[in-house]
Amino acid sequence: MPFELPKLPYAPNALEPYISKQTIDFHYGKHHQAYVNNLNGLVKGTKFENASLEQIIKEADGGIFNNAAQIWNHTFYFETFSSSDMRSPSGKLSDAISSTFGSFAAFKEQFAKSAATLFGSGWVWLVKMPDGSLAITQEPNAGNPLRKGGIPLLTCDVWEHAYYLDYQNKRPDYVQAFWNVVDWGIIEKRF
Ligand code: FE2
């Protein structure tokens, strides 16, 4: 079975004005689709032809890893958003964030700083580590915490293609807007 582009769980304009339909059309419709097409070409005739994305992320290197991880990361990123009002965590996740980072506001500040200081292209993650603790991590390029045994809870794509149409070079403005579309109900289910 070839890999396929998952359907977006909302309309392309649902995240406006924070993430525009134009950005979704390019980011999801062109970039995400290209990683799917690339991977399908690369795995033909390899041991990864019928593997899951998670298996490829844990075991592969080079182009196969890069394209599989980019598919997984983008699906996970796009599925974090909704137009709901769930803009802060509750329950056990809220408690864990407060005890780890001091407060939800302090967590957001540290996450935004990690996004701003990641040099070049990559992803910032909120991860449940193998020992159950929470951490904010930076991964360059297609990096994914699954490779190190972590459970991803939240990610922000800081490749320029994620924000350039809406925010040009102002990555911190994009990250501030990002908080207005994150659905913490979805992250609580992952936790
Ligand atoms: Fe991206």
Question: Per-residue pLDDT tens for 108-156?
Answer: 999 999 999 999 999 999 999 999 999 999 999 999 999 999 999 999 9
Q: Give residue 140's identity as a one-letter amino acid code.
A: P
CA of 158 to the centre of ligand 1 (A): 7
CA of 71 to the centre of ligand 1 (A): 9
Number of domains present in the structure of the chain: 2
Which residues place a Cβ less than 5 A from the ion ligand 1? 157, 159, 162
Chain centroid to CA 150: 14
Maximum Cα interatomic distance, the chain, rounded to a whole number of Å: 50
Average pLDDT over residues 82-86: 85
Pair 122, 162 in one domain: yes
CATH classification of the domain holding 116: 3.55.40.20
CA of 18 to the centre of ligand 1 (A): 16
Alpha helices in the chain (DSSP H): 21-26, 33-43, 53-59, 62-78, 91-101, 104-117, 164-167, 171-178, 184-190
Pair 38, 100 in one domain: no
Checking 126-135 for CB contacts under 8 A at 24+ apart, the result is 126/152, 126/153, 126/154, 126/155, 126/187, 127/151, 127/152, 127/153, 128/153, 128/191, 133/100, 134/96, 134/97, 134/100, 134/101, 135/100
Domain carrying residue 28: 21-78
Pair 59, 141 in one domain: no
Q: Give residue 29's identity as a one-letter amino acid code.
A: G
Question: Per-residue pLDDT tens for 37-59?
Answer: 999 999 999 999 999 999 999 99
Question: Per-residue pLDDT tens for 120-130?
Answer: 999 999 999 99
Work out the pLDDT band at 86, boundaries 50, 70, 90: confident
Residue 164 domain-assigned? yes
CA of 91 to the centre of ligand 1 (A): 30
CA of 174 to the centre of ligand 1 (A): 13
pTM of the predicted model, to two decimals? Answer: 0.97
Mean pLDDT score of the chain? 97
Q: Under 8 Å CB-to-CB from 47, ≥6 apart: which residues?
A: none
Pair 98, 183 in one domain: yes
Tokens coding 82: 């909704």
Residue 95 domain-assigned? yes
CA of 95 to the centre of ligand 1 (A): 30
pLDDT of 76 strictly over 80: yes
Pair 126, 58 in one domain: no
